[in-house]
């Protein structure tokens, strides 16, 4: 329905512009068969606008998937605002941020081919944030801080007024509709905890990101974790935006079957679709 409404509206606008250019103001004032010609021109433009509407319509009505994801806590005193200024936290942040954007591509489709899948080389990837048992809270706090930085929470909090926040939301939604626009570092992502209940597992099976998305799995049971990963792998061909799954645990998750490749200096997964899995260690005191 959204596609039809958008395509119809754009076709009428295009038809009106065409009539104005071809007929001139005088003919518009006389109204000679104006409605009939407007409809004919709109019908002529409709097939083209249908292609455009198929991209813009879903982007306009897309909403945060609260069934598959659980939002970050709105206010949490243990979550710092923005990137750490130095030390081990800053290095961990740098590695996590680099992983998020690695393979994310420009996110753009050709202007004249809006139906083409966007430029996203790595549509789904997994990383592990691990370390000593005593660093559990700091690992989660750092992941949440990164999530709040990526998803525009800090930008929204920086708005001086309610109208400023409304304009930010509107601007982001308009950017979602511009399929030819390259994604910018400041463009908000979606983010949240991976839902673990029955409804959440069902929602993951139909998950379709509305924009780049960071998902955090914190201490999930191994069976649930591997089931979620397999589901997301199966869905990744349909992802129009990059999806990143960050696993937080005190040990390396056995579900990933990680092995150290000394020659390449990387961790690789026994799950073929995952390949190299960044493992980022966070110590207790860092």
Considering the domain architecture, whether residues 28 and 159 belong to the same structural domain is answered as no
Considering the domain architecture, whether residues 15 and 128 belong to the same structural domain is answered as no
The pLDDT value recorded for residue 236 is: 94
Query: pLDDT by residue (tens digit) across 242-280?
Result: 999 999 988 888 888 889 888 888 889 988 889 899 998
Considering the domain architecture, whether residues 222 and 266 belong to the same structural domain is answered as yes
Considering the domain architecture, whether residues 185 and 89 belong to the same structural domain is answered as yes
Query: pLDDT by residue (tens digit) across 188-247?
Result: 999 999 988 888 889 999 999 999 999 999 888 888 899 999 999 999 999 999 999 999
Averaged pLDDT, 144-152: 86
Considering the domain architecture, whether residues 14 and 104 belong to the same structural domain is answered as no
Q: Which residue has the tokens 């097939």?
A: 47
The pLDDT value recorded for residue 205 is: 92
Provide the phi-psi class of 207: left if phi over 0, else alpha when psi is between -120 and 50, else beta.
beta
Is the pLDDT score of 98 beyond 80? Answer: yes
Considering the domain architecture, whether residues 23 and 94 belong to the same structural domain is answered as no
What residues does 128 pair with on adjacent strands?
247, 279
Considering the domain architecture, whether residues 129 and 15 belong to the same structural domain is answered as no
The pLDDT value recorded for residue 174 is: 93
- Choose among 26, 141, 13, 166: nearest CA to 78: 141
Q: Which residue has the tokens 């150290």?
A: 260
The pLDDT value recorded for residue 9 is: 80
Considering the domain architecture, whether residues 8 and 84 belong to the same structural domain is answered as no
Q: Provide the domain limits for residue 137.
A: 67-282
The pLDDT value recorded for residue 249 is: 85
What residues does 131 pair with on adjacent strands?
282
Considering the domain architecture, whether residues 34 and 151 belong to the same structural domain is answered as no
The pLDDT value recorded for residue 24 is: 53
Query: pLDDT by residue (tens digit) across 106-121?
Result: 999 999 899 899 999 9
Provide φ and ψ at 121, rounded to 5°.
-60, -45
Q: Which of 43-57, 66-80, 96-110, 270-284 is the most confident on average?
A: 96-110
When pLDDT is cut at 50, 70 and 90, the band that residue 81 belongs to is low
Averaged pLDDT, 150-157: 86
Considering the domain architecture, whether residues 78 and 208 belong to the same structural domain is answered as yes
Q: How many separate domains does the chain show? A: 2
Residue 256 contacts residue 277 (beta carbons within 8 Å): yes
CATH number, domain with residue 180: 3.40.50
The pLDDT value recorded for residue 231 is: 94
- Choose among 185, 195, 96, 98: nearest CA to 140: 96
Residue 146 contacts residue 82 (beta carbons within 8 Å): no
Averaged pLDDT, 79-105: 82
Averaged confidence pLDDT in the chain: 84
The pLDDT value recorded for residue 284 is: 55
Considering the domain architecture, whether residues 73 and 200 belong to the same structural domain is answered as yes
């Amino acid at each position: 329905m959204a596609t039809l409404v958008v395509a119809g509206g754009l076709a009428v606008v295009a038809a009106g512009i065409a009539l104005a250019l071809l007929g001139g103001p005088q003919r518009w004032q006389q109204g000679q068969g104006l409605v009939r010609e407007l409809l004919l021109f709109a019908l002529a433009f409709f097939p083209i606008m249908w292609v455009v509407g198929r991209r813009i319509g879903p982007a306009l009505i897309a909403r945060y998937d609260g069934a598959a994801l659980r939002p970050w806590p709105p206010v949490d005193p243990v979550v710092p605002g923005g990137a750490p200024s130095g030390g081990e936290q800053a290095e961990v942040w740098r590695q996590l941020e680099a992983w998020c954007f690695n393979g994310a591509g420009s996110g753009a489709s050709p202007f004249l081919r809006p139906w083409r899948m966007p430029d996203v080389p790595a549509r789904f990837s997994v990383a592990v944030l691990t370390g000593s048992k005593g660093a559990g809270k700091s690992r989660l706090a750092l992941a949440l801080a990164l999530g709040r930085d990526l998803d525009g929470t800090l930008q929204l909090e920086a708005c001086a007024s309610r109208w400023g926040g409304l304009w930010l939301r509107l601007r982001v939604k308009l950017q979602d509709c511009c399929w030819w626009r390259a994604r910018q570092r400041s463009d908000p992502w979606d983010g949240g905890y991976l839902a673990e209940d029955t409804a959440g597992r069902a929602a993951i099976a139909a998950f379709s990101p509305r924009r780049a998305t960071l998902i955090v799995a914190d201490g999930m049971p191994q069976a649930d974790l591997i089931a979620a990963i397999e589901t997301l792998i199966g869905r990744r061909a349909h992802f129009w935006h990059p999806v990143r799954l960050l696993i937080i645990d005190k040990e390396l998750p056995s579900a990933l079957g990680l092995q150290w490749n000394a020659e390449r200096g990387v961790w690789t997964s026994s799950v073929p679709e995952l390949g190299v899995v960044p493992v980022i260690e966070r110590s207790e005191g860092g």
